[in-house]
Structures are given as C-alpha cells and as structure tokens.
Amino acid sequence: MQGDTVIFKVLRGVRNAINFPRLRNPLHLVSPMDFSELKSVCCGCSIRELCLPAGLTDQEVLLLDQHMSHRQPIKKGESLYRTGDTFRSLYAVSTGFFKTSILHEDGRSQVTGFQMAGEILGLDAISTDRHICDAVALEDSVVCEVPFERFEELGQLMSNLQRRFNRTLSSEIVREQGIMLLLGSMRSEERLAAFLVNLAKRFSIRKQSGSELVLRMTREDIGSYLGLKLETVSRLLSRFHDEGLLDVHGRNIQILDQVGLNRLVGST
C-alpha cells in the first residue's frame, strides 16, 4: 500500500530524529515492523488535539501510533470493560459516547462519568491493575486501545508524552473534585444546570453544536450521576422548559438561554 510506504519512511526519520535515551529492553523498537499494525490510528484523527497525542510533535505522534492497537468498535449497550476485569489497556474514545459506573456491594450503583470523543477510559484502573468500574457504550462507538505497559515504556522514551499524561491524570482528579463540589454543596437545579452547561461546552469544543444537545443517557443515568432521582431530573427539565431556559423533547434538548443557565450554576 502506498500509504504504508510513506509512513515507513517517516518512521525511519523519527527514529533518527528523536534523540531518545536507550531503553533497558528496546526490543520492541528494533524488531521488524509489523506493517499490518501501521494503521496510523492517531495521525489522521480529527480529535488528536483533544486526546492523548495533544501537544506532541507529528513525529512523536507517529511513534505513539506505532504502539497503539487497532481501533475497536463497540456496539450500543456493550461493555468495554467491567468491574473486576484485569487492567491491560486504556481506551481513548474515538467516536461515540460512554458512561462509567461503580457498583456498591449492596447493589447500588453510581454513574461516575460520561465520556465522549478524545476522552480516556480506564485511568482509575492503573492503581490496582483491575477495573473498578463498568464502561458501557451509550451509542455505537469506536475506541482506540492503548496497551498500558507499552504506553508506560513509551512515556519513558518521550518525556513530553509522560508529562502530558501526568496532566491527563491530574485533570481527571480535578474533574472529580468538581463533581464532589456539585454533589456535596449544590442544590438539584444547580446540579442539573452545571451538568447541561458542561455537556454543551464539551460538545462545542468538538465542533458540534453547543446548544442542541442530543442526550445519549437516560434520566436515570443523569440522576445517578448527579445524586438525584430520575423523577427529580425529569421535573427539573420540565421546569427549565417552562422557564424558557430549555426546549426539551425527550432526549433532544436545546439550550435557549445560555446565560440564564450559567447564572443558575454560579449563584444562590
């Protein structure tokens, strides 16, 4: 294939250009390349800058690419991983929408996040080598698998990548702190408003409309995420609708008053 030849050339360049320190076990670098693997997962990806490759040079991205597995499709409703599964890989959402939820012993469960294109799944599993939550696709999706052992080795080669990854992990800590604040000290309407504003922001960063939201999750999922019951979520949506903040048609929600919604989050 023509494409592969080009990439091969560039790769040779990368090896020479990047002045990386020697690995203790550099076998995976000097072994003959498997061309079937050279799918250039990241290089042509439209959301590169929102994902793991963010901030890397083209050459570094190419090196990262080499260590990624194929893209993997996940059908709506399927689990990417489940609680207790041994952890081998992180997953970057390429397209689609996921939810993660933890299970409490007594059957209760709580949604801990919704992930869209560019966001990383599985960061929590690094600590114990086992997944501690379930990741379920809420629509037909595609993920990029990142075998973590290889990724850690690559981090040793590319300080740039490692630094970015430290930030990725730290950002997840910050995100969760935001939810702690939301769950611990906001009233129901503030929570829902914050949720919608956040969702809209993330959609618009991805070049999708920041006002026309198509929710992929049920009211129950939203409620679980926000520490509310589904009835409360439904009532609040109706109220926001009545107040002219939103236009609600089932899971299609249009934000009519961005400012008003933002005011709800910050105040009271």
Please report, as ranges, the residues that interact with DNA according to CB under 7 A: 187-189, 215, 218-220, 227-235, 237-238, 248-251
Looking up tokens 């290889």 gives 150
Give the three-class secondary structure for 261: helix
Give the three-class secondary structure for 28: helix
**Amino acid in the structure at residue 65:** D
Please identify, using beta-carbon distances, which residue of 64 and 222 lies nearer to DNA: 222
| Cβ neighbours, 10 Å, residue 215 | 19
Among 5, 86, 128, 238, binds a second copy (CB under 8 A): 128
Measure the CA–CA gap between 180 and 187, rounded to whole angstroms.
13
Tokens of 259: 């400012």
Among 34, 106, 250, 259, binds a second copy (CB under 8 A): 106
Q: Which does 259 bind (CB under 5 to 8 A by kind): DNA, a second copy, none?
A: none
Stretch that binds a second copy, among 151-159, 196-204, 209-217, 244-252 (CB under 8 A): 151-159
Contact flag: residue 126 with a second copy (CB under 8 A): yes
Q: Write each residue from 198 to 237 as x if it is in contact with a second copy (CB under 8 A), else as -, in one continuous string.
A: --------------------------xxxx----------
Residue/partner pairs of 7-16 with CB below 8 Å, 24 or more apart: 7/38, 7/40, 7/43, 7/62, 8/33, 8/35, 8/38, 10/59, 10/62, 11/62, 11/66, 13/59, 14/59, 14/60, 14/62, 14/63
Q: Which does 16 bind (CB under 5 to 8 A by kind): DNA, a second copy, none?
A: none
Binding residues vs a second copy (CB under 8 A): 19, 21-24, 102, 104-106, 108, 110, 112, 123-128, 132-133, 152-153, 155-156, 159, 162-163, 165-167, 169-174, 176-177, 179-181, 183-185, 224-227, 266-268
